[in-house]
Amino acid sequence: EIVLTQSPGTLSLSPGDRATLSCRASQSITRNYVAWYQQRPGQAPRLLIYGASFRVAGTPDRFSGSGSGRDFTLTIRRLEPEDSALYYCQTYGTSLTFGGGTKVEI
């Protein structure tokens, strides 16, 4: 079973900053089957990115995903207060595994 390790645990940044969130897998991920979710307090998660780099319709272009193999990154440019949330990476395919999450505080 693949284990996803996200870092850092918490990011404290200012509006307009860039956030870089890391997701490292215990083994190489097939076909870049990595997704990223945003979860605000009291809400269900929201899918932002799939296939490591493809934005879901409605995801602002300030959000971008990259990576391959074992290492994946979610970058959020020009941070806005509404970006304060937990962010989870996930691998998919024949099962789903979530990382432990990164909290972004603005």
> Which residues here bind another protein, judged by CB under 8 A?
1, 35, 37, 39, 44-47, 50, 56, 88, 90, 92-101
d(CA 8, CA 56): 24
Closest CB to another protein among residues 73, 90:
90
Give bridge partners of residue 40 from the DSSP assignment: none
Cβ neighbours for 105, distance < 8 A, ≥ 6 positions apart: 10, 11, 12, 13, 84
Closest CB to another protein among residues 14, 94:
94
Least Cβ distance, residue 100 to another protein (angstroms): 5
